[in-house]
Amino acid sequence: MKTFVKLMTLIVLFSLVVSCGGTPAVAPVATQAPAVPVLLPTTTLAPVAEPVLSANEQWAKDNGLGPYQPATDDWAAIEAAAKREGTICVYANSSKITKLQKPWEALYPDIKWDCGDTDSIDVKMRAEQEAGNVVGDVWFNSDGHILYGEFVPNQWLWSFVPRDVVMPELTAEQPFAVARHAIDVWGYNAEINKNGCPLKNWWQLTDPALEGKLYTEDPMTDVSTMAKWATVAEHGDEMATAYKTLYGKDWTTDPAAQKDAFGQEVPNAGWLWVKKMAQNHPVVVDEIDIAYASVGMDPKVEPGYGWTGWNSVEDTAAGDIVMAPCLEMAPTIGMAKTSYLAVANKAPHPNAAKLFIKLALSPDGYAPWAAIGTYPATASIPLEEGEMPFDEMLSKTWLMNPIYDWENAAKVRDFWAISLLTPK
């Protein structure tokens, strides 16, 4: 029995030794099934809808104008299309436009030159757009307040600037090609006043002694003159300083600065000048040439002061008149007006219009207007010999603001009309 017990003890001990020193048992590993991708419901993206264009926008897009102008101008294709159109009609507010006919015909003998110098461009083009019977292809005009205030919102004009023309002043808000800037000034009779212009301050123009001796186009009917007097109203602070310089007191002390019998209030010194100028009853003329004559030798007109373009001194050089500009006026010697180029909406000859704008922005296209007091907007066209840089000129003049002028020109017209009836 003892022998059996010992034997069983040895067997148990041997089993323990083997279990401790042997290879441990490995538990079976569970096989993991490959991950099954989770399929989400398929979402179908709606196609991005093309913006719906107005009929005018679609026309501009079809003809590569305005925001739809290609990045590169294919002039060979443009010229070929213009020859098929066969005609160009430019509405310009300068008689010098006729001097571009020969250069045009030399470049494009197959495209007939039609139209040219005309009055009331805004009236003509507005009527054509409203009637859907467009005749004029190109707007070549200085009434920027009408361009940006009325024609752009109505999509009646589209911009086009040749891609190779450098015109630094263009912006997204004002993208239309600029042909030139011209300075308007007060002109005087240089033969009578051999020591220079007697006027040194804009407020002297309101002196009762000059009643009947001031000449200007009628701001009641001429939208350009209306905008210029709006520019005076815009510069109320400068006009206030000029008033104090001349009279030694604030403009608010002027009797005309008070509310008049018609209930008209005077917002600033610029508006006061407009009122007092109207009360001085300037002689209004239909043609600015008469204003030139007023400071020259026309025996029918008493010499005085005419609101005119600085470049009219070329007529003086030719011996036609004896006008010279008043260049020491405070607070400004004049205003810089801008001549814009644009293509009429649904113009019958849009490609010919592009060719004309290309010509107008070239040295040959600028040549008819090249004179002291006129500035090309194209960077590559040189200034006249002896002419001060435009930036320097702008420090002496007021650049007309088309947006302000649009918002205020009609108010100035009404203010002027009432002021005409208000006694001094």
Q: How many helices (H) and strands (E) does the chain have?
A: 15, 12
Domain span at residue 65?
A: 56-181+337-379+389-397
How many domains is the chain built from?
2
First to last CA, the chain: 153
Residue that the structure tokens 């905008």 belong to:
227
Q: Same domain, yes or no, for 225 and 269?
A: yes
Specify whether 252 is located in the same domain as 273: yes
Residue 242 in any domain: the answer is: yes
Residues 219 and 240 in one domain: yes
Count Cβ atoms below 10 Å from residue 64 Cβ, excluding itself.
18
In this structure, the answer to whether residues 210 and 326 fall within a common structural domain is: yes
pLDDT (tens place) for every residue of the chain, 424 residues total: 444 334 334 333 334 333 434 434 334 444 444 454 444 555 556 566 678 999 999 999 999 999 999 999 999 999 999 999 999 999 999 989 999 999 999 999 999 999 877 888 999 999 999 999 999 999 999 999 999 999 999 999 999 999 999 999 999 999 999 999 999 999 998 888 999 999 999 999 999 999 989 999 998 988 899 999 999 999 999 999 999 999 999 999 999 999 888 889 999 999 999 999 999 999 988 766 677 777 776 777 788 999 988 887 666 666 666 788 999 999 999 999 999 999 999 999 999 999 999 999 999 999 999 998 999 999 899 999 989 999 999 999 999 999 999 999 999 999 999 999 988 8
Q: Which two tokens stand for residue 277?
A: 């100028």
Considering the domain architecture, whether residues 77 and 169 belong to the same structural domain is answered as yes
Residue 300 in any domain: the answer is yes
Question: If you compute the radius of gyration of the chain from its CA atoms, what whole number of angstroms results?
Answer: 38
In a domain, 142, yes or no: yes
Answer yes or no: do 238 and 109 share one domain: no
Predicted local distance difference test score (pLDDT) of residue 267: 96
Give the C-alpha separation, 314 to 331, whole Å. Answer: 25
Q: Which amino acid is at 419?
A: S
CATH number for the domain harbouring residue 108: 3.40.190.10
Show the tokens assigned to 5: 């017990």
**Cis amide prior to 389 (ω within 30 degrees):** no
Structural domain includes residue 98:
yes
Residue 309 DSSP one-character state:
E
Instruction: Please indicate, yes or no, whether residues 198 and 328 belong to a single structural domain of this protein.
Output: yes
Q: Are residues 273 and 188 in the same domain?
A: yes
- Decide: residue 100, CB within 10 A, 0-12 exposed, 13-18 middle, 19+ buried: buried
Per-residue pLDDT, 133: 97
Q: Within a domain: residue 32? A: no
Q: Name, in order, each residue with C-beta under 8 angstroms of 409's C-beta and a sequence gap of 6 or more.
A: 145, 223, 226, 227, 230
Return the pLDDT at 5: 38
| Beta-sheet pairing, 374-376 with 157-158 | unpaired
Q: Residue 2: what pLDDT?
A: 40
Determine, yes or no, domain membership for 9.
no
What token pair was written down for 349? 């000859």
DSSP class per residue in 342-376: EEETT-S-HHHHHHHHHHHTSHHHHGGG-STTEEE
Let me know the angle formed at the C-alpha of 66 by 63 and 70, rounded to the nearest 5 degrees.
Answer: 65
Cβ pair 121, 127 in contact under 8 A: no
Give the pTM.
0.83
What is the pairing mode between strands 177-189 and 334-344? antiparallel
What is residue 203's predicted lDDT score, i.e. its pLDDT? Answer: 98
Q: What is the pLDDT of residue 399?
A: 96
In a domain, 6, yes or no: no
DSSP-based three-state secondary structure for 308: strand
Q: Are 329 and 349 in contact (CB under 8 A)?
A: no
* Positive/negative CA dihedral, 241, 242, 246, 250: negative
Task: Indicate if 206 and 224 belong to the same structural domain.
Answer: yes
Say if residue 324 is in the same domain as residue 192: yes
The pLDDT value recorded for residue 315 is 67
Bridge partner list, 339: 180
Pair 65, 123 in one domain: yes
Residue 40 lies in a domain: no
Tokens, residue 126: 């507005």
**358 and 272, same domain (yes or no):** no
**Residue 326 pLDDT:** 94
Neighbouring residues of 387: CB distance < 8 A, sequence distance ≥ 6:
372, 373, 375
CB atoms within 10 A of CB 125: 23
